Amino acid sequence: MRYRTRKLWYYSRQMRKLTLLLPLLLLLGWQAAAQQAVTEPTVETFQLGNVNVKVPAPDGFIGIMSTLDKVVARLRATEAPGNDMLTSHIAKDLLPKYQTNQEQDLDVYTKISVIRSTRTVEITPTMFGEIRTGFENQIDAMLTPDSAVIKSVQGNTGKALSELWGKDTTVKVNEPRNLGFFERSSNTISAAVFLNFDINGRKFSTLATMSMVHVKKRVIAVFTYKMNPKAEDIDFLRSFAKAFNAKIVAANQGSK
């Protein structure tokens, strides 16, 4: 029991670190763009310890990890050192648009990550329930404008983008808002957030969902994003995220 408690504490601590990276992860699409239209598998498989976790692409979307190297380089540049980015998706029908101009903002996209140090840790349903409760209790404090979390994200992101772009980059996160939890189940917890960013004077907004999905005794973080959203996009992105999460859960039922 003592070992289990220590393991749960350690995993919960690591999952908190992942949730604190949410504002950082929201930045990643605004200059990412596609290079060429190619065919990628509709279902990707990732080995997490002794299990294989499947991540199917959302309907109408395509994975970009093995094809859009410049996009992936930007995504990886701002990934936390302790995280593994598993995959990312964009809409298939928008590939020609990004081929024409690589500096355009992405519209809707996904990102799936896992904490490297816990990718082999077995998480029971009871443990996931405690992690889910912790996430619910922490998100408001995490998104407080003057919180240590937001300040840390601004500093770390500015440093990462400065190194990536070869010039000093200042990042400000303005008016972060928790839009509430919209999905709670035995294997999923999902929240929506809205943030305004200012990067070297360039202002933009991001609507995002963050989900923790428990499959095969592992937890993966599933993010979906809508850049410069309108009011009606909130319901859209919530529905999109729920459908994506359900697809991931279904793909991992009854498989090894």
Cα 150 from Cα 202, distance rounded (Å):
18
* CA dist 130 → 137, 187, 223 (Å): 11, 12, 21
Mean pLDDT, the chain, integer: 80
Mean per-residue pLDDT, 140-155: 79
Distance between CA atoms of residues 171 and 150, nearest Å: 11
Supply the pTM of this predicted model.
Answer: 0.83
Mean pLDDT of the region 13-28: 49
pLDDT (tens digit, 9 = 90+) per residue, 95-136?
777 667 656 777 899 999 998 888 999 999 999 999 899 889
- pLDDT band at 10, cuts 50/70/90? low
* Residues 147-172, mean pLDDT to the nearest whole number: 78
Q: Is the pLDDT of residue 238 over 70?
A: yes
- Give residue 21's pLDDT: 47
Tell me, what's the pLDDT at 32?
35
Look up residue 41 and give its two tokens.
Answer: 């598998």
- What tokens appear for 159 in the block? 């440093």
- What pLDDT does residue 61 have? 94
Report the alpha-carbon distance of residue 118 to residue 125 in Å, rounded: 16
| Distances from the Cα of 109 to the Cα of 57, 216, 244, 254, 256, angstroms | 11, 25, 12, 28, 28
Contact 190, 209 (CB under 8 A): yes
Is there a contact between 177 and 194 (Cβ–Cβ < 8 Å)? yes
What is d(CA 143, CA 93) in angstroms, rounded to the nearest whole number?
A: 34
pLDDT of residue 155: 77
Q: 79-93, 147-161, 204-218, 230-244: which has the minimum mean pLDDT?
A: 147-161
Per-residue pLDDT, 198: 84
239: CB partners within 8 A, 6+ apart: none
